[in-house]
């Protein structure tokens, strides 16, 4: 058993993820589809009750800042994939409401994204290895 450097595990994680992610973004763009970040936003809205979330909640779920949520929502509204709806309960807030066009886009994106995950990632791993990854990476809790 040879002694390993712990930092090599981090380096491997860094490089593997970064290149995989880059490759997927490239493939999405090549098909004129939005980024995976946008996919995350659409998917998060779809899962929410009523297909809507307040900007602040949306931002927390997908880990992006307030003004970034505003800017992304701006574009998504322009393209008709969400609608901004004033929040009646708390008039400071704004709902991001997924439209049927937004739902369709999410599904269309999944057609490509899901295939990329299979081809570029899952196909290289056994079921046991999938399980292991979930377990090991799940142990990593970020401390603030």
Q: How many residues bind a copy of itself (CB under 8 A)?
A: 43
94, 84 Cβ separation under 8 angstroms: yes
Only segment of 9-17, 46-54, 73-81, 90-98 that touches a copy of itself (CB under 8 A): 9-17
Three-class secondary structure of residue 49 per DSSP: helix
Partner whose binding site includes residue 54, from a copy of itself, DNA, none (CB under 5 to 8 Å by kind): DNA
Q: Does 130 bind a copy of itself (CB under 8 A)?
A: yes
Q: Which is nearer to a copy of itself, 104 or 133 (CB)?
A: 133
Q: Which is nearer to DNA, 93 or 110 (CB)?
A: 93
Q: Return the residue matching tokens 């937004």.
A: 102
38, 78 Cβ separation under 8 angstroms: no
Q: Return the residue matching tokens 């779920």.
A: 61
Q: Return the residue matching tokens 């809205």.
A: 45
Q: Does 43 bind DNA (CB under 7 A)?
A: no
Q: Does 44 bind DNA (CB under 7 A)?
A: no
Q: Does 67 bind a copy of itself (CB under 8 A)?
A: no
SS (H, E, C) 60-122: HHHCCCHHHHHHHHHHHHHCCCEEEEECCCCCCCEEEEECHHHHHHHHHHHHHHHHHHHHHCH
Residue numbers at the binding site for a copy of itself (CB under 8 A): 4, 6-10, 12-14, 16-23, 63, 114, 117-122, 124-125, 127, 129-134, 136-144
Residues lying near DNA in the complex (CB under 7 A) are found at 29, 35, 37, 54-56, 59, 64-75, 84, 87, 90-94
């Amino acid at each position: 058993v040879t002694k390993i450097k712990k930092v090599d595990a981090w380096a491997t994680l860094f490089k593997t993820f970064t290149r995989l992610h880059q490759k997927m973004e490239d493939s999405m763009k090549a098909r004129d589809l939005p980024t995976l970040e946008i996919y995350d936003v659409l998917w998060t809205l779809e899962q929410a009750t009523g297909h809507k979330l307040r900007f602040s909640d949306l931002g927390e779920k997908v880990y992006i800042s307030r003004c970034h949520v505003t800017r992304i929502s701006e574009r998504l509204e322009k393209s008709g994939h969400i609608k901004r709806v004033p929040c009646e309960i708390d008039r400071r807030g704004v709902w991001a409401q997924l439209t049927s066009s937004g739902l369709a886009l999410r599904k269309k994106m999944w057609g490509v994204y899901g295939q990329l995950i299979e081809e570029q990632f899952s196909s290289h791993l056994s079921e046991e290895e999938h399980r292991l990854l979930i377990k090991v990476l799940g142990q990593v809790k970020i401390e603030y």
